[in-house]
């Protein structure tokens, strides 16, 4: 049997998600790879997509975009990445409907897992590292960043934030991390003692960022929160600066007056790893980015924290844990 997570209407994931049983999938078709899933992550974006789903679905929808597992069969004409073979460990991304015991994946989305990586890291090997690669490119290609510009990122204690810190250190970027609490700041300083951290629970935190910059321009800000936080970052940006929004944690809109954008010649842009990265990247760039994501996973393995691991029978607990305040690491499900 195949057990998979489904929903038929939008709403709170804890209320609308359920697990169904069905026959195991047939042999893979042309260009497909059949994968027995060993673990998949519960990404915040997965839950946001469920909550925002419009209306009623004609057929049950399976959430998820990433999973790791073992190749059981390969269909004819499949264009395989190096190392992908029957019996081999792989990760798939972007793979709509990844929350399932069995996956019928497009061969182009299947990536071999390095032997040294455990399943707990392999299950997170692409989405978050590729997000860090995408954000690094947005910063590095912005001309105002230059040689003396400073990069500021919020939610720096998140899975993506920690990887972005490691990537920034590798590229010698000037970086200031912003987190919500002093407790989170202390934890991040232990992980990255050479990177400055500012907690927004302190009054005047924006001035603390300016002080940490030491007179250098805040050229690029990376923000998955939105709302009031994004507006504060716009105020921090130097003339010619750039705000990159890559998440929707806050419910309120970003309120910025046009005069601020015009007078400071600012750039605001949004990035989406699920749809933006595949659409905006050539096959060569995608291949290069995936190789970089693998290297990030190998080099920064200790930053791929797992908050907890659940079974499919514990789905409600897994979903609750994934959005729990103060959570460190990614929630995984082993089907």
Give the DSSP H/E element, type plus range, for residue 161: helix 159-170
**Mean pLDDT, the chain, whole residue set:** 94
Q: Specify whether domain 131-270 bears CATH 3.30.160.60.
A: no
Q: What per-residue confidence (pLDDT) applies to 55?
A: 85
Rounded to whole angstroms, the Cα distance separating 82 from 24 reads 27
Phi-psi region of 73 (alpha: psi -120 to 50; beta: other; left: phi over 0): beta
Closest CA to 96 of 64, 54, 58: 64
Q: What per-residue confidence (pLDDT) applies to 148?
A: 81
Mean pLDDT of 111-133: 97
Mean pLDDT of 181-200: 97
Whether residue 289 has pLDDT greater than 90: yes
Q: What per-residue confidence (pLDDT) applies to 276?
A: 81
Whether residue 297 has pLDDT greater than 80: yes
Q: What per-residue confidence (pLDDT) applies to 202?
A: 87
Question: 94 preceded by cis ω (within 30°)?
Answer: yes
Residue owning tokens 């096959």? 283
Q: What per-residue confidence (pLDDT) applies to 316?
A: 95
Q: What per-residue confidence (pLDDT) applies to 144?
A: 63
Mean pLDDT of 183-198: 97
Residue owning tokens 């290069």? 288
Give the DSSP H/E element, type plus range, for residue 162: helix 159-170
- For strands 306-311 and 18-22, give the pairing: unpaired
Q: What per-residue confidence (pLDDT) applies to 274?
A: 86
Residue owning tokens 């920690």? 162
Task: List, for residues 128-159, the tens digit of each pLDDT value.
Answer: 999 999 999 998 887 666 668 899 999 999 99
Q: What per-residue confidence (pLDDT) applies to 140?
A: 84
Domain ranges of the chain: 2-125+304-333, 131-270
Sorting pLDDT into bands at 50, 70 and 90, what band is 208? very high
Rounded to whole angstroms, the Cα distance separating 17 from 291 reads 34
The CATH topology of domain 2-125+304-333 is: Quinone Oxidoreductase; Chain A, domain 1 (3.90.180)
Q: What per-residue confidence (pLDDT) applies to 143?
A: 63
Mean pLDDT of 5-16: 95
Task: List, for residues 44-89, the tens digit of each pLDDT value.
Answer: 999 999 999 988 888 999 999 999 999 999 999 999 999 999 999 9
Closest CA to 152 of 217, 94, 93, 89: 217
Q: What per-residue confidence (pLDDT) applies to 141?
A: 82
Q: What per-residue confidence (pLDDT) applies to 268?
A: 94
Sorting pLDDT into bands at 50, 70 and 90, what band is 278? confident
- For strands 306-311 and 330-334, give the pairing: parallel
Sorting pLDDT into bands at 50, 70 and 90, what band is 186? very high
């Amino acid at each position: 049997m195949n057990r998979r997570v489904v929903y038929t209407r939008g709403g709170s994931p804890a209320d609308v998600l359920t697990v169904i049983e069905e026959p195991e999938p047939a042999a893979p078709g042309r260009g497909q790879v059949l994968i027995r899933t060993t673990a998949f992550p519960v990404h915040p974006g997965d839950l946001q997509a469920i909550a925002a789903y419009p209306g009623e679905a004609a057929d049950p929808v399976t959430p998820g975009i990433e999973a790791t597992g073992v190749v059981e069969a390969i269909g004819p004409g499949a264009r395989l990445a190096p190392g992908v073979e029957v019996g081999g460990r792989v990760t798939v991304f972007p793979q709509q409907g990844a929350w399932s015991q069995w996956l019928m994946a497009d061969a182009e989305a299947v990536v071999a897992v390095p032997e040294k990586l455990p399943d707990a890291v392999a299950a997170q090997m692409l989405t978050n590292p590729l997000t860090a690669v995408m954000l690094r490119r947005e910063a590095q290609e912005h001309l105002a960043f230059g040689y003396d510009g400073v990069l500021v990122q919020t939610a720096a204690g998140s899975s993506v934030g920690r990887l972005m810190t490691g990537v920034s250190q590798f590229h010698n970027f000037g970086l200031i991390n912003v987190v919500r609490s002093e407790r989170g700041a202390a934890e991040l300083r232990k992980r990255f003692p050479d990177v400055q951290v500012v907690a927004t629970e302190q009054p005047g935190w924006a001035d603390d960022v300016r002080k940490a910059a030491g007179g250098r321009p805040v050229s690029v800000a990376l923000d998955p929160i939105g709302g009031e936080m994004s507006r504060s970052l716009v105020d921090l940006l130097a003339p010619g600066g750039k705000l990159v929004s890559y998440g929707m944690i806050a419910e309120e809109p970003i309120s910025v007056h046009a005069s601020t954008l015009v007078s400071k010649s600012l750039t605001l842009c949004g990035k989406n790893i699920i749809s933006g990265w595949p659409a905006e990247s050539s096959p060569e760039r995608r291949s290069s980015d995936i190789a970089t994501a693998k290297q990030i996973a190998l080099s920064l393995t200790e930053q791929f924290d797992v908050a907890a691991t659940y079974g499919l029978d514990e789905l409600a607990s897994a979903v609750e844990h994934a959005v729990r305040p103060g959570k460190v690491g990614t929630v995984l499900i082993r089907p």
